[in-house]
Amino acid sequence: MTCISTLSVRRIPAQSCLILLGLLLSLFAAPASAQDTLASATPEEFQMSAEDRDDVSRIEQYLNDISTVQARFVQASSTGEMAEGEFFLSRPGDLRISYDPPVPILIVTSGPFLVYYDSELEQSTHIPIVTTPVGVLVDEAISLDGGEIQVIDISRNAGAIRVSLIKTEDPYAGIITLAFTDAPLALRQWTVRDAQGVVTEFALLNPRFGVEIDPELFTFVQDLNSNERR
């Protein structure tokens, strides 16, 4: 399986493609067929009700109040691939996603960049955080509507709220949906639908909020001689 992005072209393992599709969707060019697929799911203008605006405001406040999160996660794709690992978030700016073997991937922020490291290929890729959906989680001031991000749908059922978002300047790049439990409000999952129509779900398991996290976890160092990274 081959992934092609506007950043680079290289052959990577199929499981790595799953991760790239989930986190780098805004870097992928959408062919005409994919645009047609997303066009049917992306309203040109979503009219929010008063309840919608209240919920968006609550969610923005909740996200901006988060200091740290630590959790196990399960990631599943509509293509049938699955992965597990550890998730760490320290706002603003710091994120670490470490996948369990045999997936050879580490994703970590390093300054203004998101570093994608494949230990199997011994290659690292640095991507500006602002060009990825990760910015929704690590921005110093999170705003879900009216700027770089646009709300295209809000749904509620069984004590849960789901908010679907697109990039304002590139609505056909993909859709990211944040899922929260309500009363109290808590982030539990996000789902990405990329330009090819592949859906990737990333669910947090027993997340712990406001915990102390070692800052070294957000430091990327690649030893080219020993093939180690941290």
Q: Comparing 24-38, 116-130, 174-188, which segment has the lowest mean pLDDT? A: 24-38
Distance CA 223, CA 221 (A): 6
Taking a C-beta distance cutoff of 8 angstroms, is the pair 153, 140 a contact?
A: no
Q: State yes or no: pLDDT of 149 exceeds 60.
A: yes
DSSP 3-state of 19: helix
Distance CA 55, CA 53 (A): 5
Taking a C-beta distance cutoff of 8 angstroms, is the pair 94, 199 a contact?
A: no
Q: Which residue has the tokens 């009219």?
A: 47
Quick: pLDDT tens for 49-92.
999 999 999 999 999 999 999 999 999 999 998 999 999 999 98
Distance CA 102, CA 32 (A): 35
Q: What is the CATH topology of the domain spanning 13-204?
A: outer membrane lipoprotein receptor (LolB), chain A (2.50.20)
Mean pLDDT (whole number) for 5-16 = 33
pLDDT of residue 166: 84
pLDDT of residue 7: 30
Domain boundaries, the chain: 13-204
DSSP 100-132: PTT--EEEEEETTEEEEEETTTTEEEEEEGGGS
Taking a C-beta distance cutoff of 8 angstroms, is the pair 206, 29 a contact?
A: no
Kindly report the pTM of this predicted structure.
0.75
